[in-house]
A and B are shown apart, each in its own frame.
Chain A
């Protein structure tokens, strides 16, 4: 799976990327690729450098070292707006949704379709509702009524609406920051299904998580980070869920810990 499918350059390619905050090395020598229709999982414990990586990808920070290639051409995003214009959408944990507003109003917030001109320019409500219903249905999201406030949705449903929104607004690369961390097992499963849906529609997905059980079923390649450094990038065929878990938990460190904790004399 690591070989290019049809010779086209990957959507995003990171080579030896690094970032420092003052004298602290937050990220160093990280390389990975994001291809259309594939899910790249970034795994790591707290402080592994996952959020720094997101910030570089979404244009909040620039990389200090290494190269970021978009469609095979060098790209460094100066702002989140630039990244968004290049088709890189980030769905943060807090989702940027207004609980008291209807789903369709949230869906188009900040990018409302209008009709009419001059002082009669108005929000095209019929089109917004229809598009919301269609886009959610295309993602397989079953919303009873797009008029209901987002606040009445469950956490998983809200994640799904946020994903559908990003896909609708032309995201080619979708960055998901810990989409399953606050959810129960069942809800997390729902969200992962929509991640797979987005992938099947040809979006390149970057899934950031600390849960290998969520990452392994849906991911095509896995980048494991530890203290800002890459522990390696693996294709799905090359690594089992158990190995991934072990690697994430610190591998050798965990073995050493096991030895330490063993009862003397046993």
Chain B
């Protein structure tokens, strides 16, 4: 993928170009890694996209409208995110309903809340002026600064993305919790029979996804200094696409954080590579769809070979 675009476009392979396409890949990648963990655990979160908007708006409203220190606002947003994540997980484990439906409900509810509350507090659909709030300088350094690498300004989100990918990989492959995630997604009843706390694992995964949404939402709020009420809507499917391109099975029990990160990388490359080639950007979704199909077909082979000798 990289070679393809790099050969065709000089800008694409320059350090500055790389910094450019790494940027959309990073925020998407942080979410895709968390969503991949959730999918390995056997669940979807359709509210993940809109939750980045909810947290970004919470940061803005608490900081600007309630005149709080920015870090207080960021803390409040984290509490809100974890509460939503817990609610999702609790409802899914309590009712046994498909997480698809439950989080579709949360998604729509949050979409309405984002718009309604933003209008209520600001009389517009935007929260702005986040950079005038005390604490902005440190927050900007943590969430939105740039680091010079080989003369190219890399967004700090890229470094966070690498860190979270490494952390998620370690958790999945080298901790008890990781083992439980694979088991819960692979066969929840069997997992419970051997003493895996499947319910707690599921709730923890939903809260992890929510925490990732908080991180990305805060990054958006600090970086852009103003937040639209419709931020994040539609992104939830992109996260799932990235995770699936990275090898996650839709049925759970299989996948990797590195794969999801690569899925996000491919997404970023395609998104910016197509305009670099001066192709019509309308083709972007065609490529994305084709890659998704290829990835799903490849995954099916994996599952087949793993279950071939069941008899």
* Chain A residues within 8 Å of B254, by CB: 100
Query: B182 and A100: CB pair below 8 A?
Result: yes
Given contacts A98-B182, A101-B182, A110-B194, contact A154 B311 (CB under 8 A): yes
Report the separation of the CA atoms of residues A148 and B234 in the bound assembly, to the nearest whole angstrom: 38
Q: Contact between A99 and B174 (Cβ–Cβ < 8 Å)?
A: no
Q: How many residues of B contact A (CB 8 A)?
A: 29
Known interface pairs A112-B179, A114-B176, A123-B176; A100-B190 also in contact (CB < 8 Å): no
Alpha-carbon distance A154/B311, docked complex (angstroms): 6
* Residue pair A100, B186 in contact (C-beta under 8 Å): yes
Is there an interface contact between B183 and A101, defined as CB atoms closer than 8 Å? yes
Could you tell me if B310 and A96 are in contact, using CB atoms closer than 8 angstroms? Answer: no
Q: How far is the CB of B185 from chain A (nearest CB, A)?
A: 9
B60 at the A/B interface (Cβ < 8 Å)? no
Are the C-beta atoms of A123 and B306 separated by less than 8 Å? no
- Considering the complex, give the chain A residue whose CB is closest to the CB of B184: A98
Considering the complex, give the chain A residue whose CB is closest to the CB of B177: A123
- Do A99 and B186 contact each other (CB < 8 Å), given the known contacts A123-B175, A152-B306? yes
Q: In the complex the two chains form, what is the Cα distance from A101 to B181 in whole Å?
A: 11
Q: How far is the CB of A121 from chain B (nearest CB, A)?
A: 7
In the complex, what residues of B have CB within 8 A of residue A151's CB?
306-310
Digitize B153-196: 1 where CB-to-A-CB distance is under 8 Å, 0 elsewhere: 00000000000000000100111101110110011001101111
Distance to closest chain B CB from A129 (angstroms):
13
* B308 A112 Cβ-Cβ under 8 A: no
- Shortest CB distance A150–B (Å): 9
When distances are taken between beta carbons in the complex, the residues of chain B under 8 Å from A125 are 173-174
Chain B residue, CB-CB nearest to A95: B190
Q: Does the CB pair B310–A99 fall under 8 Å?
A: yes
Q: Contact: B179 with A109, CB < 8 Å?
A: yes
CA distance A98 to B193 in the complex (A): 11
Within the complex, which residue of B180, B194, B309 is in contact with A96, where a contact is CB–CB below 8 Å?
A: B194
**Shortest Cβ-Cβ A-B pairs, 3 listed:** A110-B195, A98-B186, A96-B193
